[in-house]
Amino acid sequence: MNDHTPPARKHGFDHLLHATRWSWQGLAATIRHEAAFRQELFLFVLLAPLGWWLGETGIERALLIGSLWVVLIVEILNSALESTVNRIGTEHHELSGRAKDQGSAAVTLSLILVGIVWACVLLS
């Protein structure tokens, strides 16, 4: 188990180093434990270079690639939410189910955003 308690005397750059390490640990855990994130990361690796190539301006490239980043960010947040709900208990509870469904809905909306952004940029 990773210790996420910052040392009491760490400030400034030392704290930044610790926070960066914890962020990388979170990303690695998400890759290791979340199949949906791995699938979305695979699509990002395929589509981001395509977005760079298809975008004619910096703004278009930012929109195409940025919308893909949003999916990854939302999926990480959804995974964190699911982990927290599962930590609280595995028995069925209406609020737990609702929280998980809402996290899933956020991921779905981010994927729809990708479709809208890509359609708007590529069809304009």
Question: Is 34 a residue of the active site?
Answer: no
Catalytic residue among 56, 75, 91, 94: 75
Residues 6+ apart with CB under 8 A from 40: 71, 72, 75
CB 30 within 8 A of CB 37: yes
Nearest to 75 by CA among 18, 114, 22: 114
- Write out the catalytic residue numbers: 75
